[in-house]
Structure 1
Amino acid sequence: MKLLLARLAFSKDGRKLLWVILVPVFLLILVVVMLFSEQTSQPPGSYTVGSQLSSAVLQYEGAVQAALSGYGLEEHIALVLAIMMQESGGTASMDIMQSSESIGLAPNTITDPMYSIEVGVAHFNKVLEKMQKSEVDLDTAIQSYNYGLGYIDFIAKNGGIHSEELAQTFSQQEAEKLGWASYGDPAYVEHVKRYVGTMRDGQVIDVANASADFQVVYETMQQFDGYPYQFGGMNPKTSFDCSGLMVWAFREIGANLPRTAQEQYDISKKITADELQPGDFIFFTGTYNAGRPVTHIGMYVGNGKMFDANGGGIGFSNLNDRYWQEHLYGYGRIVDFVGGEEG
């Protein structure tokens, strides 16, 4: 075979024949690679209905499912319900999906919840269609429900992957362009995703009822020991800030935390110092001027220590230090860990 290919390569007609043989082979390999990458990426319907949805939202689950089925998007039921929860909680407005503006009307013009669902799902479908065409990630599509389709174009030109930093940049650009004080919600993705659960090894896990091995989160955090602190950072490439570290580590057990320390405090089950166990959160106030009470978070690891990202870097901090005692705000539990032994 090698001899035949060599002979073909050294003649004009042979080179043409060689291309005829090799091109289909290369195309076949390319198709196989593309199919494999699609199968190994996170399926868009991997979210499950979160336990923190209000009864006011859950009463519309059947109507949302029916609307989604018209577009073949039934797998997105959990995500659309989470969007509704973020937009209105099911009660803040009769336009429960805040979809009036998507058809050029003033906010809350729609006064029929069923029509709001119809229009909202139609807008969601447009967002997903453009997401696929522009080859951006699902988080970009979620943010675009709040920002509009222009955000997808923006992300497509800036790497194709949503981040809160890019969302903030887009918000500032649009606000300046329109002469507004602000534009949309830069943290919309995290605000929506706090209302969904995820699948891990066939089990539903969300921030309200997750149960997992403390060691998984602990070891995930430990690998970043010594990394520098990075305000706004939430992945190993940029390093982390305090809440970004928690978001990254807790995703290892399928728990989707909201983005900021304040939001993580808000959704946590409040506990006392006597109830504190490894894996619980410790919240602090006044560590910088954030315009909100809770400004810092650490994860308790036992023996009076926490693991956190602060101005000195990522690592262990002694809770008995005067600074932390002076800024202590409270304690919270997200996950009922198993295997969290003090040591």
Structure 2
Amino acid sequence: MKMRKLFPLLFLGFFFVFFMLIAGSSSSTTHTASEEGQNLPEVVLRWKDKVTKEATKNEIPEAVPYLLGIIMAESGGNSEKYPDIMQCSESQGKQPNSIQDPNESIEVGVKYFADMWKGHRDYDVLNIVQAYNFGGGFLSNSGKSYSLDNAIQFSKTQAGGKTITYTNPIAVSLGYDYRYAYGNMFYAQIVKQYITSTSNNNSQGNAAIVKAALKELDEGTHEGGTKYWQWYGFNGRVEWCAIFVSYNAEKVGVKMERFAYCPTGIENFKAKNQWLEGGNLPKSGNIIFFDWDGDSISDHVGIVEKVENEVVYTLEGNSGDMIAKQNYKKNSPYIMGYGTP
């Protein structure tokens, strides 16, 4: 649905970063981050099969990109130097780095993450990521929507206001040269950069966003879209079709900027040569844009569920102010085109 563009999208540029990340209250790990827009390094990706196996066993296969991001943040995947590659010994009440088998670390770390994820299905996944660092108690204070301010306040309270110097580039880009001396209040932001840099521009990523949207549909109509526009950061109701798309893409790590205004989404896809004109057959997981009144300005957006016999089946937020399934013929005059993340 049409709405004015309320604020510009912010994004980090390309850079290499070297940093010390404190995971929890005492353990630390040094490693080199990958360049944004490129895949995670092989030293992390070598654990993908094990992570996928454990995530599937714990019924959170959609969390794999986040779990790999956590490994990157915690140890850089360097099991030779850091056998507890998910730095999860403390989640079992043990001393830091007590786990000496990387496979055991993944088993314990994924289960710990899964227990929090499954207990807070309607929470922003970045809150779960932050809780991996702070501990599950954070989720009692975070609210459902992720907020860096909430993470900062929680860390400040737990640290009694004590600060330490911290020059991680992510923190610096957010205007900080310190953090509070409890966990890492920037942890979700640090992991998020690796979600962005993990390429999901493939059938697996497409399938994940469809699965996520179907799950939202199955869990209820979410009439009025409150869950979604609050997640995006709005204080009152806005037209939420684009926000629904952004929510599901970010939840499963699909590489796509958030957008709340349909024309902005089109601009983003065209700028990356990820645009397919209407009249063509899209693929499952593509983002479908509509123009109801023929003025060449997109009014509405959804997710392509599947394509059968030249009919495009969709999942749409804010369709009658609810989540709904719809379908259109390939040559429908209302279809402007598709974003192809």
The two structures have a TM-score, normalised by structure 2, of: 0.42
Larger CA Rg, structure 1 vs 2: 1
Structure with greater helix percent: 1
The two structures have a TM-score, normalised by structure 1, of: 0.42
